[in-house]
Amino acid sequence: MTMKIIVCIKQVPAGEVKINPETGTLMREGVQSILNPFCEYALDEAIRIKKEQEEGRGEEVEVIVITMGPPQARSALLRCLELGADRSILLCDRKFAGADTLATSLALSEAIQKFEEDFTLVFTGKQAIDGDTAQVGPELAEHLGIPQITYATSTTLILERKRIQVKRETENGYQTVECKLPALVSVSAGSNIRRIPSFTEIIKARKKAIKTITADELSKDTSRFGLSGSPTQVANVFPPKSRAGGQKIKSDNPEDVVDRLIEFLEKNGFVEKE
């Protein structure tokens, strides 16, 4: 039986974007887009497992990439196919437009359950660089009813026990955890290195399938998708205020540095004068 690994990816703007004042959603038209870097790390982990299982254990593994977006999102899927994915799925319909993380994760889960339900693993990037919410992965796991491990830097399959072992980032370092399969793992950068596909891989990618699925093909109740199915909305987006550089104290004499630092702290009221 072929092992099936699903990678959910997102196409993100390469530069500055504007916000639709009426809907609070990103205006992506006319903005160059790229494959979200963390999604690429997730794909790289899936491809690594595929090679490990096929070359080391002789087991067949299929990597399927799924995304939701406008027709131009095909370019991100093509990039994934060039990097080694076997086939891809594009959820493309005006009814998906304006989706928040909940509506997005719901649509992805419906596609997986309806078309790719016999999966072993689902990978996502830890977050997208345009929204930085890191919510779609965990919400997707909840919709699918499977365990999840977030912020992974490396993974190890333990197929004889039907489990996966994951090294993950924490605020204080790293920890290693296990969970049963099937499972969802969101991937951080780790030791993965974003690579450039070879000319042969680029040519092969043109022969791989990109299947398009509409909202009506997923569910009879399409009101759960897109803006109508999104309980949250972006109220405002703005760049952070620029901050002036700090004052630097340069001297070859450490005592002089200390004296000038104390003078600065006293002058600005951070410490009381002696």
Look at residue 26 and tell me whether its pLDDT is greater than 70: no
pLDDT at 78: 95
In this structure, the number of other CB atoms found within 10 A of the CB of residue 270 comes to 9
Nearest CA among 66, 65, 77 for reference residue 105: 66
Look at residue 244 and tell me whether its pLDDT is greater than 80: no
Q: Considering the domain 3-229 in this protein, what is its CATH number?
A: 3.40.50.620
Q: Report the distance separating Cα 141 and Cα 183, nearest Å.
A: 8
Cα dist. 218→6, 108, 194, 201 in Å? 17, 9, 33, 31
Instruction: Give the angle subtended at the CA of 145 by the CAs of 143 and 148, to the nearest 5°.
Output: 95
pLDDT tens-digit profile of 46-92? Answer: 999 999 999 988 889 999 999 999 999 999 999 999 999 999 999 99
pLDDT at 19: 67
The reply to whether the predicted model has a pTM over 0.75 is yes
Identify the band that residue 108 occupies on the pLDDT scale cut at 50, 70 and 90.
Answer: very high
Domain map of the chain by residue range? 3-229
Report the range of poorest mean pLDDT among 135-144, 177-186, 192-201: 192-201
What H or E segment, with its residue span, contains residue 179?
A: strand 173-180
Which three-class secondary structure state does DSSP give residue 198?
coil
